[in-house]
Amino acid sequence: MSANTAVAAKYRNNFLKEIEEQVEMGDWVKMCMQCGVCSGSCPTNFQGAWEHPPQELFMMIRAGKREEVLTTSSMWNCTSCYNCIVRCPRKLPITHIMHGIAEYAHRLGMAPKLQPTRFFSGLFWKNATKTGRVNELKLSMGLYFKDGFVQGIKNGMAMQAVALGLVKAKRLNVMELFGGHKCKDQKGIQAMLKKAYEIERSRKTARIAG
């Protein structure tokens, strides 16, 4: 049984309870009074990027719209500017709740695969944890080729002048493509992360079971 089927079976129609128990800061959702100040204060244009502004997401959670909330790309567009937290009359930690829901959707495997924020987050994490250092060249290449090989070449060509400029200014080393620089104790970092993964996994499994 996948994690998604497990929680769906556990909470049945009570999506609010699921969010409260499984999502970081999710217990704040019920405090929303639907005033709309968070959305009105959001600097991103959610009509283009956000399908559902924060207070609508909160209402959808209460209405039990599980599928729509967990598969939407809305909360992935949060830029963490904290304007909503500052202005919320009920002091909801909205930014943190957005990240909490996004992380939960990702964990259940329901988040949109190619949503740029999610894609980039995954890419960055893999890139940084592999050697203990961020390889900027590989990171940007990975991002260029997100939407396929042809689009990747096009993106690369479009950024050619910038890349050459960076090389000239010695801010970009082409040799990074082959291995690249590492931290001193690569094995140590990986062992540490492995342990962290284990702790996280056992805690989250316990949470779903409990």
Interaction site with other proteins (CB under 8 A): 33-37, 39-41, 45, 47, 52-53, 55-56, 87-91
Helices and strands: H and E segment counts in the chain:
12, 0
- As measured in angstroms, the least distance from the Cβ of 96 to other proteins is 16
- Nearest CB to other proteins, comparing residues 50 and 104: 50
- Nearest CB to other proteins, comparing residues 4 and 41: 41
- As measured in angstroms, the least distance from the Cβ of 118 to other proteins is 23
CB 5 within 8 A of CB 63: no
Give CA separation, 60 vs 84, 117, 139, in Å: 18, 22, 35
> What six digits make up the tokens of 99?
């990240």
- As measured in angstroms, the least distance from the Cβ of 39 to other proteins is 4
- Nearest CB to other proteins, comparing residues 61 and 108: 61
- Nearest CB to other proteins, comparing residues 52 and 99: 52
Residue with tokens 């962290």: 196
Neighbours of 113 (CB within 10 A): 8
Residues 6 or more apart whose Cβ sits within 8 Å of residue 10: 18, 208
* 125/131 Cα distance (integer angstroms): 11
- Nearest CB to other proteins, comparing residues 84 and 108: 84
- DSSP structure class, residue 147: G
- As measured in angstroms, the least distance from the Cβ of 104 to other proteins is 22
* 73/106 Cα distance (integer angstroms): 11
- As measured in angstroms, the least distance from the Cβ of 18 to other proteins is 23
